[in-house]
Structure 1
Amino acid sequence: MSTSRSARRPIAAICCLLCSTLPAVSSSASAQPSSRPPAVPSKVRPQERVMKISIKFDGQTIIADLKDNPSSRDLVAQLPLTLNFEDYHATEKIAYPPRKLATQDAPDGFDPSEGTVAYYAPWGNLALFYKDFGYSKSLVNLGNIVSGLDALRKAASFNATVERVID
């Protein structure tokens, strides 16, 4: 069976495309396994590190995992702190760190839920949500409370020591 010249061009193009995308392998490389770990594609981010903080007041402890973002890192850099938390709209407890947190690369806003730790940039306050709330412009997600949410719900205003927890 004879193949016309025009029918061979697509096949040749496909073969060239496949060969150009395959990595070159030398005969010595295939004889011994590589000691290097496989490369991670650039679109896959390494696992983000989690920073843990404690908020201690009146014999109670709240533990929160913070996200690895500029705002959370800036908060952790200020620790330890003693802050006065006050109830705000029967939804969250708020307190003011000594200086505003960095907010570069932060989204325009955030929709917090029960247990969210956040930063409200216009006022410069931390917010510990013990009830669900709607989207708020300029609210930055710092992380989530992993234990002690009941203590937060029951407390009114309180002075607390906020510290980084080292695992």
Structure 2
Amino acid sequence: MSTPSTSQKPNEEFNATIKFPTGDFSFKANKINIEKSVDSTGIECWTLAAFQDIFKDPAYKKGLASIKEVIAIQLHIARDKLTDDQQLFPAAIPPLLNKNSGNLSKIVDKIPDKDNLIDTVETYLGDTGHIDYEWDADRTRITGNFELWVGDSNQETFRLFGYFNLLNRGQHLI
């Protein structure tokens, strides 16, 4: 388990390495969402969703560029208290979810149009892995590490792994 921040500021991060077949990608979330959810068998869960926007060019800082794609990692964990390292199981096809599972999505602008609308979603369902996390006493902050193997429709699998230190306050920028 990574050591929580000792800073007095509410520092947050969700970072991962994605081992795509074409090469490694360093994921650094700029938005997250933590929400209560229920899995396909009725078990109460938390869904941690982390997003990294990838822009077409550096002009986005001036508000001039559009998003090229969004990479999203979702982890679905039980709302009951963690006792130890948890195994991750095969994911359900969204919008359904399974407790202790995860997936990776790429939302991509593939079809040219004048508004550069994002139009294609590639989903890589989690197959196996593990997660280790801990809530603070008030359940306002969660820290953890994870490793997840995901697969695409061609049965090609790849690994992603990372860590997070997040405040439990719904959807927000980090």
TM-score, reference length from structure 2: 0.28
Structure in which a larger fraction of residues adopt helix = 1
Structure in which a larger fraction of residues adopt strand = 2
Larger Rg: 1
TM-score, reference length from structure 1: 0.29
